[in-house]
Structure 1
Amino acid sequence: MTGEKTVGEGITPIILDSISDGVFTVDPGWRITFFNRAAEEITGVTREEAVGRFCWEVFRSSICERECALKQTLKTGNPVVNKAVYIVNADGRRLPISISTGVLRDRHGKMLGGVETFRDLSQVEELRKELYGRHTFMDIISRNRRMQQIFTILPDIARSNSTVLIQGPTGSGKELLARAIHNLSPRREKPLVAVNCAALPDTLLESELFGYEAGAFTDARKSKPGRFALARGGTIFLDEIGDISPALQVKLLRVLQEKEFEPLGAVCPVKADVRVVAATNRDLAAMVAEGGFRQDLYYRINVFSITLPSLAERREDIPLLVEHFIQKLSLLQGKVIEGISPEAMALIMGHDFPGNIRELQNVIEHAFILCRGGLILPEHLPAYLQNGNEEKGRPAGGLTMAEMEERVLREALVRHKGNRTRAARELGINKTTLWRKMKRYGIKFPDDNHGQTVG
């Protein structure tokens, strides 16, 4: 069966050659029967080279061997629409594309083969990378206004040698921020040593921080340097500092005041050439008022304070973080997951995430275990996210994806007093795109630029 018969004679090939999407057809034996001009341009393979060859020899995509979309369509009769995949062109370059497939039949309904259309997403991918890069700072990903303000001042904080207190809920990224401070500082060539103060009992924590000399206690057969010694010249990160005992608070206060410490069993103090970055998920000011934390130590560690918002307060970051975790896990596990379905994303966007970013990462990792390829679907998410769907088509938080997007747009416009240019810049979208979305959701807002109601 010739390509002309498959796609029709006369004007049909001319029409298919005039469109920007690539189109090819195959016969029941999987040999290419038609290959339009856009297909030539995207793949780098000429029509003469393509026609008559098996489709997988020409159209080398990431799903050819495992889950060919065209094969699935011919088997089930169900089309595939806008599936994101990668192909390798004639130059060996990896290109992102979206594909759609369908069954090709004659006027009597007899199956002649299959047709596949594909669209080059290279420019979209470059824009995505640009947007992603614009919202990434030292491995911290956010387009939230409060987080962007932190990004702005972080280099200045890092250049100083002052003690920093990072406050925020569990799982909000406090250690990541501490690492960013260290990596931007003049001490970046020296160690960053992290200690979880809540993970050890008081007696063990003291020896862990300050070390000990041989014979300081039973079984101390040789000296062991503490974390302050190991961090010499660098930075020590004291996580969950609000959990240390009053007795250890006194010893830590001396380190900050005198810049020296004494290992257990030592007779002479050791100089502490180290910068301290502390973090807590507790309200230290309230603890001071209640007598649970020393006031003098609080003021010593609170030279400069940074408060991280919870993930629920920066929901506009969830899609960026989801994409980041998908890419990260794809590299670590060698598994091709192309993205997440709108339905699954709606469930994620509607969740409050009491465990913050750490919980979101665990959710995506859970989905990776169950998802064999393609898109992450609602059934791949943890049960508590699926079961929270009290109303059909509506996530646990009560908002659909569209409703969540509308809320994010409104909040950005409120923050910028109706200035669409600044709101669009914060959201990482074009001003025209913002205006179009405002029209879609019926958002009317005084434009700070012109004093008129827009949307």
Structure 2
Amino acid sequence: MWTQDPAMKAMFRVLERVAGDDVTVLVRGETGSGKELVAAAIHALSGRRKGPFRAINCAALPSHLLESELFGHARGAFTGAVRDTPGHVQLAHRGTLFLDEVAELPLELQAKLLRVVETRTVIPVGAREPVPVDVRFVSATHRALRKEVEAGRFRADLMYRLRVIPVFIPSLRERPDDIPLLVEKFMAERNETSRRKVERVAPAAMTILRRYSWPGNVRELKNVLAYAYAMGDGPTLAPADLPPELVDPKLSGAELVSPSPASEAHSENPEARRILEVLGRTGGNRQRAAQILGMSRVTLWRRMRELGLAEQA
């Protein structure tokens, strides 16, 4: 357990308690906070651990492709469907299916997923007969799902089916005491594969890591350490090895571009502020900004839309 945070320890106790019960779990947390790792831990602690663990990001594909990926398709269902192909639901039979960013599912696919959860059968695209499936569902979202229900974007009946056990992951900026532990973990992993072997982190470098806001959470921390290993040499990880914007806040996008009314309006939201800073530093290059933030370009664009930043790049 790589944490000293009381809220994280409480979350792990809940996971240990409910993993053995075949109930649905809904994990909520920011992008990069480790939602898939939590889902994998639930699977590993459950009676299904010898079965498959499958994961699909519901925000990564357009709806017509997502339906086939999730539920499978029959031969002849569409152009190019030359054979029966199982989807993630069937491939997770007797195991666990992790539905990441489940709130992004279109309403029509929510209805189909609800039927799968309720009947424990799936009808692939283009098929007529239901196929029995034995799957445990663990879902995740960065959204407040109840608000999505109130806004008419998510089905209430599906929400209740998927969140028998709700779990919340605190952001990394809310648990700075975990940063040294996670750095130690990621350094051990990196030392196994990297040309550089780091034995210690300079106190000044650790201070920089602890004071940073980490909008990309644990994933961003891991990416920053990968950068540090590549850019530096020797057994000590020094401040000079870290990305410039961590070492000197004056190099952030907030200092490189004049603040717009939109950026000032979002100054109280740390995630929005950080996205604007990185976009400013990369000259509006979303691909590079996404890499720095430790997320995919699709996820960055989605978060920008949600935070009202879509016009800023």
Moved more, 181-190 or 293-302: 293-302
The structural deviation recorded for 1:334 is: 4.3
Give yes or no for contact 2:200–2:235 (8 Å, CA) kept in 1.
yes
Which residue is equivalent to 2:213?
352
For normalisation by structure 1, the TM-score amounts to: 0.54
**1:244 matched residue in structure 2:** 105
- Distance in 2, matches of 1:325 and 1:286, equals 36
Decide which of 141, 147, 158 is 1:297's aligned counterpart: 158
Instruction: Write out per-residue CA displacement over residues 244-278 of structure 1, whole angstroms, 9 at most, x where no aligned residue.
Output: 10111110111111111101111110112100000
Match status 1:320 vs 2:169 = no
* Alpha-carbon displacement from aligned partner over 1:57-76 (angstroms, at most 9, x marks no partner): xxxxxxxxxxxxxxxxxxxx
| 1:165 equivalent in structure 2 | 26
**Distance of 1:270 and 1:283 partners within structure 2:** 32
Letter in 1 for 2:32: G
- Residue 385 of structure 1 corresponds to 246
**CA drift at 1:389:** 6.3
**Percentage of pairs with the same residue:** 45
Q: By how many angstroms is 1:335 displaced?
A: 2.4
Question: How many corresponding residue pairs?
Answer: 251
Corresponding residue of 2:120: 259
5+ residue gaps in structure 2? 252-313
If asked which structure has higher relative contact order (CA below 8 Å, sep 6+), I would say 2
- Partner of residue 148, structure 1: 9
**Any idea what the Cα deviations from partners look like across 1:70-106, whole Å, max 9, x if unmatched?**
xxxxxxxxxxxxxxxxxxxxxxxxxxxxxxxxxxxxx
Partner amino acid, structure 1, of 2:144:
D
In structure 1, how many angstroms separate the alpha carbons of the residues matched to 2:134 and 2:5? Answer: 35
Q: Tell me which of 100, 123, 145 is aligned to 1:284.
A: 145
Q: Which amino acid aligns with 1:234?
A: G
The structure having more radius of gyration, on CA atoms, is 1
Q: Structure 2 CA distance, aligned partners of 1:270 and 1:157?
A: 28
Structure 1 CA distance for aligned equivalents of residues 93 and 73 of structure 2? 16
Runs of 4+, deviation exceeding 2 Å: none
Q: Secondary structure at the match of 1:263?
A: coil
Preserved CA contact (<8 Å) 2:25 2:166: yes
- Map Cα deviations across residues 273-322 of structure 1 (whole Å, 9 max, x no partner): 10000001111111111111111111111111000000011111001111
Provide the C-alpha distance between the structure 2 equivalents of 1:217 and 1:326, rounded to a whole number of angstroms.
47
Normalised to the residue count of structure 2, the TM-score between the two structures is 0.78
Aligned equivalent of 1:433: none
Q: Secondary structure at the match of 1:216?
A: coil
CA deviation profile, 1:195-234 (whole Å, cap 9, x unmatched):
0111111011110011111111111111111111111000
For 1:154 and 1:303, locate their aligned partners in 2 and report how far apart those are by CA, in whole Å. Answer: 13
Report the CA distance between 1:150 and its aligned residue. 1.5
> Are 1:275 and 2:275 counterparts?
no
Measure, in 1, the Cα distance between the counterparts of 2:88 and 2:249. 44
- For 2:92 and 2:195, the matched residues in 1 are separated by 35
The alpha carbon displacement at 1:153 in A equals 2.2
* Residue in structure 2 matched with residue 310 of structure 1 by the alignment: 171
Structure 1 spans left out of the alignment, 5+ residues: 1-135, 391-455
d(CA) in 2 for partners of 1:296, 1:155:
27
Counterpart pick for 1:376 among 237, 249, 267: 237
Query: Which structure has greater helix proportion?
Result: 2
Q: What is the distance in 1 between the residues matched to 2:120 and 2:64?
A: 22
Q: Is the 8 A contact 1:197 1:241 kept in 2?
A: yes
Amino acid at match of 1:297: L
Quote the Cα distance in structure 2 between the aligned partners of 1:231 and 1:290: 31
Q: Deviations over 1:327-349 (max 9, x none)?
A: 11011224211111011111111
1:166 offset after TM fit, Å? 0.3
- Residue 64 (structure 2) aligns with: 203
Could you tell me which residue of structure 2 aligns to residue 229 of structure 1?
90
CA contact (8 A) 2:43 2:53 kept: yes
CA distance in 2, matches of 1:213, 1:282: 33
More strand by share: 1
Counterpart Cα distance in 1 of 2:15 and 2:172 = 20
CA shift at 1:243, angstroms?
0.6
Instruction: Work out the CA distance in 1 between the residues paired with 2:137 and 2:233.
Output: 44
Distance 2:56 2:236 in 1: 38
